[in-house]
Chains A and B, each alone.
Chain A
Amino acid sequence: MELPSSTAQVDAASTESPAVPTTSAVGCTRPSRAPWGILGIGLLLRLVLAPYTAWNNDVAVWFHTSLSGYYGLHLYERPGFSYPPVWGYMLQIIGSAVRSLGLGSNFFGVYNPVFSSANSATFDFTEVVTSPEFNVVFKSILIGFDVATAFLVYRLVKQVTGDEHKAKLGFAACFLNPFLIYETAVQGALDTIVGFSVLATVVLLMDGRYFWAGSAWSLGILTKLSPVVLAPLLLVIIVGGFRSSNKSRIAQLGFFMLGGAVATAFLLGPEVLFGSIQSMLHNVFARTQESVTIGGMSITGIRYLRPFSGLLDWGFQNSALLIRASSAAQVVSVMAWAIWTAVMARKDPVFATLAGTVGTLASIMLLSPISNPQYVLWWMPCLAALAVIVGKWYVHLGVLTVAPLVFTVAILGPTAVLGPLATYTHLMPATDLNAQVISWYLAPGKLWGAYFADDFFAPASIVTVGTVILLFARWIPKAFVLSPGPTQLSAVADAD
């Protein structure tokens, strides 16, 4: 078994004994600076892209949610925001702040009727166009989470490897990741918050900060529910005793649950206070009762190949069966990854924890009836950290960056995100954009897809699924082969 630099184990004593040297001390032997240059480049890229781009089908929801705050309506009083409340709170606070500043509702955007035909032709495009100002404001929050996530990767890599160069590489792999930049600065997707919360949970747990790990996990769940699937894995990590501690395992679990409960109380408090819990549950869960379409970055993405195009109709007609089968497979995969992590952690807890997290979330994505490309962001930071720590799988990371990006851009074509540019400047006529979106959406396939977009979807989806499975194939056997035994993280640091 070869795990060059991740063969590490976190030792609680290290955090509790002020007498022992720390990673910072290791860092002090090699004077270095935080990755400000990379940070500057990443921020500049994002701030250039943010104002005049948006995926209007998604940001229309952000637009309405902020307007609800602007008009003093509770988050779930009007339907539309179908997520747990964290991101909605932030949007509502923006709305209220805009009102307090005396700015008009046009701060948030406008309806551009030119886009009505693209709307009715595609059902993925709306007439709502968010303003450059609003784009910058709400995307700035998302960019803030990108920054926090990248620093988490930076600190994690530095602490595990003691290598400043690797730490900066990890920061760059995350913060300059083109897919992350696109999703945050162009699309305005909230999944970066989930990515942050997942990595924060894992890191804090590895460090024995159970209370705040629980809080970070709750933050993720109350942003987009998906981190809830990590429950068995987190339980295994906590009670598995990967980490020596003077606290009993029951106490560790108790602190973790207490942190989760306190954060949940904070975040759901406003809904309880305003009597909106019922509305929230309805808005969040109603969408799961609809008939399902299949595809995206899951194994059902095979339907983009012309011979399998009939799967779409089959899935729609057999939604109930599909959901049951998918849910069962997801439960099995979640449990399997928890067991794998328990076994692997005896040899290498850091690797086991990061790979187990990626494995769990990526399996959920693969086994969902439909998975949006941005789901990759839930686990991308963990994978970036793992790849840099181990010094492997950079190609996989690259593929898992490019393929979702291609898929995303191919949905309505490369110009579809330019609604704000076409509406708020004279650089591009809105009529041209409208025509381009319709033309792209309806164009017939030239290679293997029924539609032109399918020609991109099929390889992007299959490559993503294949790459994830390849990673699993590399990781899974490591838990079941003989190894020389656990290597202390301190040994790595000493070797440094």
Chain B
Amino acid sequence: MRINFRWTWVEVLLCVLLVVVAAGEILIYSAPVIRPEQSLGVTVKSVSSAGPSIRLQLAVLHSPADSAIKLAAYPLAKRTDLTQPAVFVYSDGDYPTAGIAPTVAQGVFDHLKGELSAREYRGDVTGVTASELTDVFKDTSKASNRMAVMMTGVMPDKLFSRTIDLVSPWVQAGGTLVWAGGAIGYWDGSRGQALSSTNVVGESGTKRLLGSGVIQYPTSFGRQGTVRSDWASALDLGYKFTGGGLIRDTVTARGGVALGWYSGLYTSVGFLPRGSGGYLIFGGEVPDEASIAVDLTKIVMSHPTLSSGPVAGKLVPLSSASSSATVDWNLPFNAPNGRIMVIAFDPSPDGVYFASQSVAVTGS
């Protein structure tokens, strides 16, 4: 007797699986399917001054799947440059890190690039090594439209050390440096070597970069903010570590913005202007690159550094019964320079809709 294996059903199963999976993936990115998935849209219908406040009316278009939209608004300062800068994200496996999880250095680049791309950011996002970042910092002529992201807790010694400082001139020239992983300027790091006591630049390093009275020494590892700032509330920012965070009163006194969560004097995220540029500091360790990348994306896309001070936020529930909604919103501030920034984004987890628009206030 001979045996005949009967496995045709396996072949059919495999065939169906291959076709359905591949065709399904192609189908869901075809234009007719994609269009309803990117359904949210916000239009400013009117903006008028009403004494100490601003009356804002918005039209929201949405699909039944959109359950809410988050709005934020702030008055613009004189500078209204809404250019989306080129972003350089530092990651170099040959240099030591501090105060961050092992995957963060590379992960921040991956996530930031992905989050910005998902929100249709127009600027370039590039990963750079220490050498490449050195070239970026040396070219101060282009600094004003560039942002360097260093979430490694350690400055490469070719950029910053007891005797070298390529950072300050670049920031003074208009560059924006984003930092996380402990107090900025405390560590320098040498290629191929673990951190040791010889790499401590210390408090003097922090003061050289930020000035005095901005970060309190000794720093406090693990400290977290418990109270959301208006900005953190408006943009749904989640980063809470304040161990090496900026002193918020100093930040605001020097024309900066406290964006994060507060623990006493400190803010978990803050922007400190220096010269024509400034430092955006995440004030502590980075256990998770994904959430900090989302926070940074929201900050980059909403231009809080252009704010003249206050900010307001509003969560607008959307009804599944209709495809549009009108929102009337009284903003609790006026616009001294005649313009406000209106921001709208999808507050759902992983939501990608994000729009910001500068609009003139009539009657101001």
Contact = CB atoms under 8 A, between A and B. Distances in A.
A159 B3 contact: yes
A74 B63 CA distance: 20
B13 interface: yes
A129 B5 CA distance: 45
A100 B352 CA distance: 17
B2 A17 contact: yes
B102 A209 contact: no
A215 interface: yes
B351 A71 contact: yes
Contact of A22 (B3, B34, B66): B3
Nearest to B240: A116
Contacts of B290: 79-80
A215 B14 contact: yes
Nearest to B109: A79
A212 B115 CA distance: 39
Contacts of B348: 104-106
A68 B287 CA distance: 23
Contact of A204 (B10, B25, B102, B350): B10
B118 interface: yes
B1 A490 contact: yes
Given A17-B2, A290-B102, A72 B34 contact: yes
B7 A104 contact: no
- Contact-residue bracket for chain A: 35 or more
Interface string B137-163: 000000000000000000000000000
Interface stretch (B15-23, B50-58, B355-363): B15-23
Interface in A405-453: none
A209 B8 CA distance: 9
Contact of B19 (A77, A206, A266): A266
A203 B6 CA distance: 10
B28 interface: yes
Contacts of A248: none
A282 B110 contact: yes
Contacts of B21: 86, 89-90, 93, 266-267
A494 B4 contact: no
A489 B3 CA distance: 7
B332 interface: no
26 contacts: A11-B3, A13-B2, A21-B2, A22-B4, A23-B6, A24-B6, A67-B350, A71-B118, A77-B114, A78-B115, A99-B63, A100-B33, A103-B65, A105-B65, A105-B351, A111-B349, A155-B6, A203-B10, A204-B7, A215-B18, A216-B14, A219-B17, A267-B18, A267-B21, A286-B110, A290-B102
Given A22-B6, A493-B1, 7 more contacts: A73-B352, A98-B65, A162-B3, A212-B7, A215-B14, A269-B26, A494-B1
